[in-house]
Every structure is written in structure tokens, then in C-alpha cells.
Structure 1
């Protein structure tokens, strides 16, 4: 998630200047990763913020936009400041079948490598654009903050057990038991992970998708331990 806040100390003094008043409002720009686990909660978050009077822009590709357009159009019709910005995604040029704009549309796992590379190019382009405006940037974690917890990197191999600290129960794991997203083996995934860490360190903060109802005893363990 990305946001920009402009100072209203000088611009809001003139009530007749509608354009100045408009620009002084908070403007949140959401750029979700192209997979359902990111798109759905980020769209929900954007809609909630827009209902509280801030301006919200959701940036995505045409295929992903078609999945959320109905609900976005309904919100826009209600008068809230919400807009959908669509960017063309060069599937065919990159060697992907037409319409592969979401991870759930890929025909096979190896195609993820191409998608990650494309997303990296998009991110570089967007980064150079928004740096001109110097916005505050927040990173979104769709499965709580667990991916940022790197205790497993301290073990010597995939079979050495380690205890996950800070939990109300004793839980012991090995690195080999972790999913690929937490224990990447490919160079592409390792590069992606490093890019994420750099973005985390440079960000204004983290937004975590979690729920006390789903995990009441474990909801805040990672934040406290980190």
C-alpha cells in the first residue's frame, strides 16, 4: 500500500479554492500484488478508507480490474472518492499466454518466474515515478508478519530443528518443513525476497492482514518477538 499526505496548513485557508482543498486531502494509492490473496484484502482496505472521506486509487491490470470493477463502480456511484487505474500488462511479449495477469491464471509453476521478473520491471518503473512526489510508502503483508521472521536462517541445514520463540505453546520446526515462500530455493525467489526486505526497511510502516477471531492466542506474538 502506498500513501501520500500533503500539508493543509496553507492550502486549506482559502475556502473558495476548491482545487486547493481537494489536493490537501489524503490520497491513498494501492498497488496490490497480482494474486487473490493480495488483491481482495487491499481492495477491501481501500474501500473502507474511501468511506471515511479520503481519496483512494487502486492500480492494477485490466484482467484484475474486471474482477473488482462491479463493486468499485457501485462505490463510486455512492459518491465516495474511489478510482480504478488500469495498466496494460505485456503478457504475450513476455512469453505468457494472453490474459495471464494473475498468479491463479498461470498455466504452470515455472511461469511464476516470468511473472516475478515482469513485476520487478513494473515496480522499478513505478518507483521512479512516485519518487518525484516523495510519498510515504507502507508495505502490505497478506498473511500476517510471519514472512519477516527469519529465525530459520540461523540453523545449519534443512534438518536442524529450531524452536519458534514467543508462542504460548512450544512449537519446533525444521527449515525443510517450511513452505517455499519462506524457504526459497530458486534464484528468482531469493531475489524477490531480498527486494521485499529492502522495501520493508525503506517503508513508512507495515500493514498486516490478521484477525483476532482466527488466532486469538497467536495474533500478536510475531510483533512482540520481532
Structure 2
């Protein structure tokens, strides 16, 4: 492969995993690179393209920075091998996955993208690739073509440290009963978790193997690009560099790169509510009086659990994306009395940054964590699966900018999780939105973390390019 002339910009290929929580921040990352003169190409499939196309089009139509014309971001589409993977037609994104069998086939389908990935590296002048950590084979593929590979996982540094130490020491192998706790060895803080809150290698050996493969591929890569910032995870940035020994560049929160209504309205799926309507509703509320509730794009919440959530007595904005039977659970007249229900994709960053929002009840996905923290909003943490129980530790125990709801079961399906009752939810909301000393302290720490992050982002509006 011939190298281009020095006058041409660097060309980086971005390849996100097929899930909104992975695609949205990687598109933000491509925008950040392109704003510094890098030519960016995002690789995805036809069904996942709508998550990226609107924000890319908006960036390209406004591609000037300090009076210089920027390289546009290209979107390159490849077919999704549904038939080869045994998936139904049209199931090309984790959002469409409805059964454990489909989830396993989605993971299997990842390996089938090696051939089109190789073809792009063969035919185009690519200087570096930034690929999702799920694409473990991309490390070897990049090496074969003499191209740097950087890893993007969508989670924070703390999660990387915990994952590496679990794989390194395997403390769960010695456990005998379901109700035992695990102290994660080798970390700067004492981090203790229930066995039921963690990915259990005995119960999910295929996911444990995938984690081992991802670690091996990351160790062969040039380094990690992380959607986080130093003030949020300072102890673990140092631990990652000094103990684990891998390079890591912190580029977050990437959500801050979306600086106006137009940017945020085009980020991810099409927003399902008119922003002016949402803004007018928020403007009618007192500062800090609104509870924002959102469990992310992949979470399934039972109707029985949804009924329990309506216990805070607070005005609320509630994002509802998946229920067992529409909105049959919704108490009659609730929305008219004190709530705004958003049925679908919400302009989350705009909502969180409104002064009326006083707390964020969240599943604790990493994107939601960084977006809430960046807005200075205290978090009420309700983890469900993936890295969410680890993220809870960062928010609640290390930075103390939120409180835990008390979730104890790691699980993708509804029947694996215990019902959390209304009185527990009400107490958690009061702990961050009430008048007590604890609530005041949590809110103060959240505002301070926001101030430090925003100040640093304004002062250091650049990215170290390799």
C-alpha cells in the first residue's frame, strides 16, 4: 500500500460496534478528530447508518473551524451478514436483539466483518484505525497492513482496570455460594461487589472468553482511546498507565463536543419530542425540581417495576423505550399532573443541562454517567448489566456524586432482577433532591466536578494525535 504525500491529512477509519451506546460516542470522536484536520471514515452497516448519518451530515455542512475548511466525515456501508450468522433479516443492531440466542449470534457475526475490513485497508490509504474492543480480530488485521490500531470500548478507565484485574486474578473462581462478595484485587480503592452483580464466568463462559480475547487484542494494539476525563477517574488513570502498562488517551466527555441544539437533536436516533415543547415544560419548573428518568437504549423494564418508580412525588421527565404492553402501567392522569413522558429517543444532553433538572435516575451506562456528571446533575444509580455495576462504584463510592438504588442482580432479562419497591426509590430520590445534609453535599460535589470538567474542556480544546 502506497503512502500518501505529507500534504494530505491523516486518514483514520472508525469502526464502532452495532449498538447506540457504542456508535454515538464514536461518531462524536470522529467529529473531534475531523475538527483538527483528520480525514475520518466511519464503517457501519445499512441498518445502523441512521444512527450516524444526521450528525455526520450536520458536521459536514458546517465543516469550518477557525476559518479553515475541514475534511468531511465519510460513512462507508458494508452488508450485515445476517444469513451467515443465523439472524433474521434486518437484525443488524443490538437494539433489535430480543433473545439470548440472538445475542449470541450477534457476537458470532462480528468475526464475519474481517473480510470487508481487510478490503478497505487494502484499497484505501488508511493511517490508523480506531475499532471497538468487540472487534478483536481488527488488531491482527491492522498489523498485517502496517496500520496502527487504537481501541475504543465506550466505558471508562475504572472499568478497564476492574476487567483487567478480574481476568488477571480470577477471584470468582474460588467462590462457593451465590450470596458471596468479591473484593477486586490490586486496585487503589477497596472495591467490594456481590457475586450476583458481576459477570460470572461459570454461568456465561462464552462472554468470559470474549473478555479474555478482547484483553489479548488490546495488549497487541497501540493504545486505548477513552471517553472519560482525568478529574473523574484520576486514581485509575494512573493505575492503568503504571500498573497495567497500556497507553490511554482521555478524550471525554465526548458529549461536550455537541455544543448546540442542532448538534444534540441530530445525535443518535431521531428525537421523538419537539425540543421547544420540552424546553417550555422545563422552563415552567423551579430550579432543581425535576427528576429525569432514563434507562438507556437496551434496557427492558417490567410494568410492575415501572409502577414502583412513580413514588418520588417529584415533577419528572421520563423516557420510555420498551415496556411489556405500551403505557398500560401509567397511572391515570399522572402525566397531566406533573410529568412529561418521552416515548422514544430523548435529547438527553439538552435536558440534563437545564437548570430545572435536579437529579438523574439512570441505569448507569457510561455515556449517561459522563453526560450527567458533565451537567453537574447528581445521579441515582440503578445498574442492570454490562459495565453498569462497576460504573456505580465510580459515581457512588469514589467520586460521591450520586447514590445507589440497591440493585443486586446482573441480568439482561426481566426475570433475573428483583423488584425494587417504591419506598426504596423514594428514599434514594430524597437523598439527592431533599433538604438534608447528605443531599446538599452530593449536589455540591456534582457541581464542582462539572466546573472542573468544563473549565478544562474550554482551556484544552485539542486532541493529541499520534
CA 1:217–1:51 in 2, change beyond 3 Å: closer, same or farther?
closer
Aligned residue number for residue 140 of structure 1: 152
CA drift of 1:123 comes to 3.5
- For 2:97 and 2:85, locate their aligned partners in 1 and report how far apart those are by CA, in whole Å: 13
Give 5+ residue unaligned stretches, structure 2.
Answer: 64-69, 122-140, 245-466
- Whether the 8 Å CA contact 2:151–2:218 is kept in 1: the answer is yes
- For 1:94 and 1:141, locate their aligned partners in 2 and report how far apart those are by CA, in whole Å: 23
Alignment pair present for 1:69 and 2:53: yes
Q: Which residue among 6, 14, 39 is the counterpart of 1:55?
A: 39
- For 1:163 and 1:93, locate their aligned partners in 2 and report how far apart those are by CA, in whole Å: 39
CA 1:221–1:149 in 2, change beyond 3 Å: closer, same or farther?
farther
- Higher relative contact order, chain-length normalized (CA < 8 Å, sep 6+): 1
- For 2:209 and 2:119, locate their aligned partners in 1 and report how far apart those are by CA, in whole Å: 20
Give 5+ residue unaligned stretches, structure 1.
Answer: 1-5, 13-20
Deviations 1:157-180 (A, max 9, x none): 23463344433x533235x24433
- Whether the 8 Å CA contact 1:166–1:225 is kept in 2: the answer is no
- Whether the 8 Å CA contact 2:12–2:41 is kept in 1: the answer is yes
Q: Residues 69-218 of structure 1 correspond to what in structure 2 (within 5 A)?
A: 69-79=53-63, 80-81=70-71, 82-123=73-114, 126-127=117-118, 130=121, 131=141, 133-144=145-156, 145-146=160-161, 147-150=163-166, 151-158=168-175, 159=180, 161-167=182-188, 169-173=189-193, 176-180=195-199, 183=201, 185-212=203-230, 215=232
CA drift of 1:120 comes to 1.6
C-alpha RMSD of matched pairs (Å): 3.0
- Whether the 8 Å CA contact 1:137–1:204 is kept in 2: the answer is yes
Q: Secondary structure at the match of 1:57?
A: strand
CA drift of 1:75 comes to 1.6
- Whether the 8 Å CA contact 1:29–1:58 is kept in 2: the answer is yes
Deviations 1:53-87 (A, max 9, x none): 11000001112111110110122223432100011
TM-score by length of 2: 0.39
CA drift of 1:102 comes to 1.2
CA 1:203–1:193 in 2, change beyond 3 Å: closer, same or farther?
same
Deviations 1:5-62 (A, max 9, x none): x5x7xx34xxxxxxxx33xx21111101111221111110111100111100000111
Q: Which has the larger radius of gyration?
A: 2
* Count of residues in correspondence between the two structures: 206
Q: Secondary structure at the match of 1:170?
A: coil
Aligned residue number for residue 27 of structure 2: 43
- For 1:148 and 1:57, locate their aligned partners in 2 and report how far apart those are by CA, in whole Å: 30
TM-score by length of 1: 0.76
